[in-house]
Structure 1
């Protein structure tokens, strides 16, 4: 396999393919990532979401419908804990466009986000102004976009966007990194024609107990769960469930979407979904009672 490594959207990407990607393929990947960043990054002064955060109004983006539709389900499943208008909450704790990392008072996100945000397929309208943050599933969506751009590439393919990845072809064994010791893994997953996304409180962390996984209802970082991993057919849903698993309702949403998962508490206990294929190395791993679907 040939590996192409590059930095984009604040993380390290690796794309593995049977043969070296052509210049046209690489250019298409670069254009796809840059377009998504210019549309959805709250860290860019020239992005569309930054403009909406200042002025309100509308913009057109091809990923709007799929991402915001998924957010509606995420929000419903977690009782409002996941919310795309959490950008100002993150900024209030210091995770702002300037990366000041200087925390202020916690700020809850607007609870009426799905009335303030209106969308249909590629069109987004927001009033009054608010700061959108699609971190709960955006990187997974971008991994899917890059994966689709490379659909014409023959043979095996791995698109890894900073640990959120999607695989086609031959199976790949992937370690589940211990959230408190990057030199260790709590288990491994053999992934084939699927996606794996992870989230952990040690990533994008600053200060005492401050990290990027917030409860939108309070603006306070979560405390109970340290890390999550989710396996799905596509990376956006895997990424979304990896976020939802930090909250009550996450396992239920995973069951509805057909996503398998593992999660670890901050005191080292591990849970897994009933059908999760991961090989875990920790003796404390357990399978919780099967979650009910929403129809039950």
Structure 2
């Protein structure tokens, strides 16, 4: 939670609730720039908008030029696609749509789970340039919200804000001299916490299979090699220097054993399995309730 006495700028964007907390009220110009940053990101990446940059590729193959921040997103996705042997992929959108999580929010499967195409077969993504050899449904939900958290943090820093907490519905970035204590939401009861963590000049992101569910065994965390929802892990938390990396790794922990990720990324983690057991890294500094 932000410090008592801090001001909070709240708004909705990319389908979620945002709160930006600072020691004093943000000037209207800063608020407007934050809102524009969210709107531009949505217009670039949303598969739920027919007018977004990436949605055109779902209708026909082609080449698009993305904003400069796409290079960092591509780098993280490329690494995790390789480490996960294809389980974490930006092409998972077609599998999500088949299970009912589409732009019309049908929430009714149109068929059995189906794996998306392999990245190397249909997609060439180099920095901000992206080319699709056939129609593809891109979904960067595994890391996109985290990157947007970072982009909003960049706006605040550029406007002279050195103390802040950006909170995109649980994906957070903290900066400043006053750490904040964050509750870790119980994966089966959002009104309870399983522990707390002190966030100090770092990003904290979480992923939970109960956050977006629409049927028996149907949720948004899919295995990109099968198109099926993953059932062995129910919740993850990660702490890293950037929310982009923390968000991507929170999803990757559903698919990859932590040591494989720790070999290439600097982060700490906590996971809760479907059996209710918890595991955490040696560097995880949270406190779990008994």
Aligned equivalent of 1:74: 80
1:76 CA displacement: 1.4
The 5 A counterparts of 1:8-19 are: 8-19=13-24
RMSD: 1.2
Task: Give me the whole-angstrom Cα distance separating, in 2, the residues matched to 1:205 and 1:92.
Answer: 14
Task: Give me the whole-angstrom Cα distance separating, in 2, the residues matched to 1:235 and 1:221.
Answer: 24
Q: Does 1:270 align with 2:278?
A: yes
1:255 CA displacement: 4.4
Secondary structure of the equivalent of 2:96?
Answer: helix
Is the contact between residue 18 and residue 155 of structure 1 (CA under 8 Å) also seen in structure 2?
A: no
Secondary structure of the equivalent of 1:220?
Answer: coil
> Structure 2 length as normaliser, TM-score?
0.94
Is the contact between residue 156 and residue 162 of structure 2 (CA under 8 Å) also seen in structure 1?
A: no
Task: Give me the whole-angstrom Cα distance separating, in 2, the residues matched to 1:75 and 1:122.
Answer: 18
The 5 A counterparts of 1:23-172 are: 23-61=28-66, 62-103=68-109, 104-111=111-118, 113-151=119-157, 152-169=159-176, 170-172=178-180
Task: Give me the whole-angstrom Cα distance separating, in 2, the residues matched to 1:125 and 1:179.
Answer: 38
Task: Give me the whole-angstrom Cα distance separating, in 2, the residues matched to 1:236 and 1:16.
Answer: 20
Q: Structure 1 residue runs of 4+, over 6 Å off?
A: none
1:242-296 CA distance string (max 9 Å, x none): 00100134442134211100000011000001211111124xxxxxxxxxxxxxx
Unaligned runs of 5+ in 2: 1-5
1:183 CA displacement: 1.7
Q: When the two structures are aligned, how many residues end up with a matched partner?
A: 281
Aligned equivalent of 1:2: 7
Is the contact between residue 143 and residue 244 of structure 2 (CA under 8 Å) also seen in structure 1?
A: yes
> Structure 1 length as normaliser, TM-score?
0.92
Unaligned runs of 5+ in 1: 283-296
Secondary structure of the equivalent of 1:215?
Answer: coil
Is the contact between residue 74 and residue 127 of structure 2 (CA under 8 Å) also seen in structure 1?
A: no
Is the contact between residue 231 and residue 261 of structure 1 (CA under 8 Å) also seen in structure 2?
A: yes
Task: Give me the whole-angstrom Cα distance separating, in 2, the residues matched to 1:153 and 1:192.
Answer: 19
The 5 A counterparts of 1:204-219 are: 204-219=212-227
1:72 CA displacement: 1.1
Task: Give me the whole-angstrom Cα distance separating, in 2, the residues matched to 1:210 and 1:134.
Answer: 19
Task: Give me the whole-angstrom Cα distance separating, in 2, the residues matched to 1:172 and 1:90.
Answer: 35
